Amino acid sequence: MGNMAEAEAPIAPPVAADAPPPPTPARVYRHRLPVRIWHWVNAVTLLILLMSGLMIFNAHPRLYWGDYGANADHAWLAIAAQGDTGYLRIGETRIETTGVLGRWTDGEGVVRKLAFPGWATIPTSYDLASGRRWHLLFAWVLAIGLTLYMLWTALGGHLKKDLHVRRGEWAPRHIWHDIKDHARLRFPRGEAAARYGILQKLSYIAVIFLLLPLMIFTGLAMSPGINAAWPWLVEVFGGRQSARSIHFIAASALVAFFLVHIAMVLLAGPVNELRSMVTGWFRLPPEKDA
Amino acid sequence: MTGGGVILPRRRLLAGAGGLVAAVPLLSACDAINEAPLTRKILSMGEEMHQASQRALMDRDALAREFTRADLSPVFRSNGTNLPAGDAYAAHAARGFADWRVAVTGLVNTPLSLSMADIRSMPQRSQITRHDCVEGWSAIGEWTGVQLSRVLAAAGLRDRARYIVFRCADRIGDALYYESCDLVDALHPQTILAWALNRELLPIANGAPLRLRIERQLGYKHAKYLTGIEAVASLDGIGAGKGGFWEDRVDYEWYAGI
């Protein structure tokens, strides 16, 4: 995952020009313990929330805008089956999804006409009550974990030291440079690999401070009890069915982040990246000879 | 959980179809975890935390939002039972529910047997609220009826009463539908026994002649086809003891403010 070094990180001392190359690459202590714990708790929590969320979606695979929305009302997104064809409809665009969405075959070979397939949901066969139980318990894990993590990033210096976007980094040229490097799969080497790049900073900030809070607040906005306690919350999102739609869109954005995140870990060196998120220690990729 | 996946030779797991072969036992293992009694116990902690925090956050009488007639759903969807089976209900419907009675019993000083005329002669409340189904859809409708608190006051709740149980005329499978709530929601100003939807007599699909509106909770709590209201000290011994038809059968949350 990210490259984040502590100021006090024990980077290996520079080596004299005539000395033989160091036997092992320089290591930095990149991820402190709270980062590592939160990362893995979150990985499990978000997976459970996603899969149980897809089960809940299966109970009514239609999305609306506004306060109300049921079968007689216009859905801007729907997953359904017509005859032998499963499809996803967004607006007026219909995409055939037979086998994956709307109509699929389960492990026992039985054809199911549900939105998301059994391998993507908790539990695997239709069970709204269990889906809700998992979702509503792990929502607590996400919310408490995120709150603690936000407090720690703000108070512990992580935010200022590692995620803070410095003035020069906002320059369009700098951002464009980072985009080009990513596109060419050219990852920073040497000491530059110890810090977050601008795209990394922006995506982590977006996930931690925008997407995850948005998931929690749109989730709360769907609760009739919270609606009575905090009537303003559901209004902020434009009504309960809008909150449900935004919840789904933000979840899709998190899935997109996850896919890019995994791709980057694989491309940047999965062993080194994984080890750094387990032990904290990251081996700096050596500078390439000119 | 079966050991089917465990005894597979490693080579087969890694074979081309390995993903699929390995996935099936993995999925059934996940389902076994879901069904384990310990898991269910841990999972139900979520409901308790939500109930405790919601009750701490909201005033006892905090109101669900009330909308205007411009906000009404064009079609108010029904769910669950759309027409209770049986001759008795059909006969009541044919007579316009003229002989329908709602019994108020249990831990009350004066048990009552109310006709629809009795209920309509009490002070009425109308409210345009959003109905949120556990499945995810919502519909806005205008409900008219008597506050449950007035009915309970007329019967006189005894000190030992902690819960109100709602008995229904619709049978699903082997049992009559029922629901329950605690006194916070029973005595809430928007908790009414409704006999009208959108200023017309309640349609049969929506619970004629009388249904519960309990506006800070999900749709399955809003018991339809009401025949009885019973004050009790405990939910033990009623149904399977979890406080509602779906709570007993599929483990829906009893506290459905979530």
Asked whether the predicted pLDDT for residue A161 surpasses 90, the reply is no
Same domain for A208 and A73: no
**What is the band of A3 on the pLDDT scale with cuts at 50, 70, 90?**
very low
Structural domain harbouring A272? 27-60+127-283
Q: Check whether residue A132 and residue A196 sit in a common domain.
A: yes
* pLDDT tens sequence across A106-133: 988 999 999 999 999 999 999 999 999 9
Gyration radius of chain B's alpha carbons: 22
Tokens, residue A118: 């059994």
Element (H, E) at B49: helix B37-57
Res B11: pLDDT: 41
Distance from CA of A231 to the nearest CA of B (A): 7
* CATH number of the domain within which A142 lies: 1.20.950.20
Domain membership of residue A10 (yes or no) is no
Contact: A134, B43; criterion CB under 8 Å: yes
Residues A184 and A235 in one domain: yes
Q: What is the pLDDT of residue A5?
A: 42
Supply the DSSP string of B243-258, one letter for each residue.
SSHHHHHH---SS---
Q: Give how far A223 is from chain B: nearest CA, Å.
A: 5
Contacts of A147 in chain B (CB under 8 A): none
Q: Are residues A185 and A268 in the same domain?
A: yes
Please tell me if residue B172 touches chain A, with a CB cutoff of 8 Å. no
Residue ranges, chain B, pLDDT below 50: 1-19
Asked if the C-beta of A124 comes within 8 angstroms of chain B's C-beta atoms, the answer is yes
Top-confidence residue, B34 or A288:
B34
Q: Give residue A23's pLDDT band: very low, low, confident or very high (50, 70, 90).
A: low
> Which residues on A lie below 8 Å from B27 (Cβ)?
107, 118-119, 124
The type of residue at B19 is G
Q: What is the reported pLDDT for B152?
A: 98
pLDDT in tens, A73-103: 999 999 999 999 999 999 999 999 999 999 9
Distance from the B151 Cα atom to the nearest Cα atom in chain A, whole angstroms: 24
Domain annotation for chain B: domains and CATH numbers: 10-53 (no CATH), 61-250 (3.90.420.10)
Interface of B with A in 41-80 (CB under 8 A): 42-47, 49-50, 54, 57-59, 62-65, 67, 71, 73-75, 77
Least confident of A45-54, A251-260, B8-17: B8-17
Do A250 and A264 lie in one domain? The reply is yes
State residue B26's pLDDT score.
77
Segment holding A17, helix H or strand E? none
CA distance A222 to chain B (A): 8
Which range is least confidently modeled, A179-193, A242-256, A260-274, B189-203?
Answer: A179-193
Helices B37-57 and B18-35 sit at what angle, rounded to 10 degrees? Answer: 60
| pLDDT on residue A7 | 40
Claim to verify: residue A198 and residue A221 sit in the same structural domain: yes
Q: Is A99 on the interface with B (CB under 8 A)?
A: no
Q: B57 and A136: CB-CB below 8 Å?
A: no
Sequence-ordered strand ranges (E) for chain A: 27-29, 62-63, 77-82, 85-90, 93-96, 104-105, 111-112, 281-283
ipTM of the complex: 0.89
In a domain, A34, yes or no: yes
Give the model's pLDDT for residue B22.
57
Closest Cα to residue A139, out of A41, A250, A248, A46?
Answer: A46
Please report which confidence band the pLDDT of residue A289 belongs to, taking 50, 70 and 90 as the band edges: low
Residues of B in contact with A59 (CB under 8 A): 134-136
